[in-house]
Structure 1
């Protein structure tokens, strides 16, 4: 198991390196985040010991259940799933960043809990760039006004934008939903808002890693290509399927 995970990590990093070369980018500009939904903590530990420093969980329960093993390891734990307001207090016990901020009432609850704890939190704004009803995230046309509003929340540090692109289609059809996130970021830049001139783009998974990097991704969220398919009851979970 250990050798397989390490071998897979090497392959993924090589894919990132190759994609960056093709795009004329420096590979140091693209971070790898381990997508660890349903992945046992011991497998995650192997990846951390191999040098990985970022992981993303979709469920509060998994953050909690894996905490005993992971809490003392050098890993940033991002929350990348849909976050209900009644789970905010618990998620904040474990997460160092929320990548799925997509509505004002969630921002309000985060602000409330963070003020109580006298701390700040890094966040990414989630955007539904594929306009799919099955996916969470803001409509692209609503992002700029939302960002301006969130900028007034003193406990939230806006670090970037996140999306799940259109998947399981021909590559040519995947590109627009990825490119749109970069376009939205550039529109934000054009507003000249203080503190919002270095936004990261979190996009790209096992299926569309290369396309995402070509379109400007700074963080790819990879699970299946590292840990393999995960079984949930009678079904195989695939990271590329939206919640």
Structure 2
């Protein structure tokens, strides 16, 4: 019952924020550290898109939920030795941030039915502790991804620094500017992934087309 109430309230909030912003928004349910049973319960309510930070945890849930038709996004920092598993078993990668990952991802995806859908993660606040490329490196990554036949560039992702609301909103706005520039150059681009449980409504107001929500849906992680 709680999962139903949380999901209904969350969808209502996302829909309301999207209506105010005047564009469609997808909800990605972040299921990190949640059991497969919790994912199954939310999927039964209509949610089909889930995100995992840790590859092995995500693969385990995929096996346990293989009877469901779900879309799986890898959203955590990507190590080179995980490229094969990401490419073979996930539908989307939201955290591509350096060139050396492109060739192994492309090679490992070669036998899949469709390209791996890719977002470039941008370190919009230049945080030393956070993954993501500098804004000035986006164009080079775009060119290399576009040359990889088994990868499909879909847009950008960011996790701005938490804290001051005005600074956060400004970071979201800078990401939206980068997204619009990229979309102008690459018409296939359609996704700006930013905003989490505490700030997704602000992110939507500033142009997010996909929000990544965990605790507001599942409750506190175990």
- The answer, yes or no, to whether TM exceeds 0.5 is yes
C-alpha deviations, 1:134-180, integer Å up to 9, x for none? 1101111111222122211111100111111221x121121121111
After superposition, the C-alpha distances for 1:71-105 in whole angstroms (9 at most, x for unaligned) are: 22121001001111111222333211111111111
Alignment root-mean-square deviation, CA: 1.6
User: How many residues are paired up?
Assistant: 222
Alignment of 1:144-223 (within 5 A): 144-167=139-162, 169-190=163-184, 192-193=185-186, 196-223=187-214
Q: Distance in 1 between matches of 2:18 and 2:12?
A: 10
d(CA) in 2 for partners of 1:156, 1:93: 12
C-alpha distance after superposition, 1:5-62 (max 9, x if no partner): 1111111111112212332x14xx1010000110100000001010001000011111
Secondary structure at the aligned position of 2:101 is classed as: helix
* Counterpart in the other structure of 1:41: 36
Structure 1 window deviating more from structure 2 (86-95 vs 48-57): it is 86-95
Unpaired segments ≥5 residues, structure 2? none
* Residues 114-134 of structure 1: per-residue CA shift (max 9 Å, x gap): 235575211111111121111
Contact kept? 1:36, 1:56, Cα under 8 Å: yes
Distance 1:61 1:172, change over 3 A: same
Moved over 4 A (4+): 116-119
Say which structure, 1 or 2, has more relative contact order (CA 8 Å, 6+ apart).
2
5+ residue gaps, structure 1, are 232-243
Does the Cα contact within 8 Å between 1:161 and 1:201 map onto a contact in 2?
yes
Distance 1:161 1:172 in 2: 21
Q: Deviations over 1:161-219 (max 9, x none)?
A: 1111221x1211211211111111222234x34xx354210111011111100011111
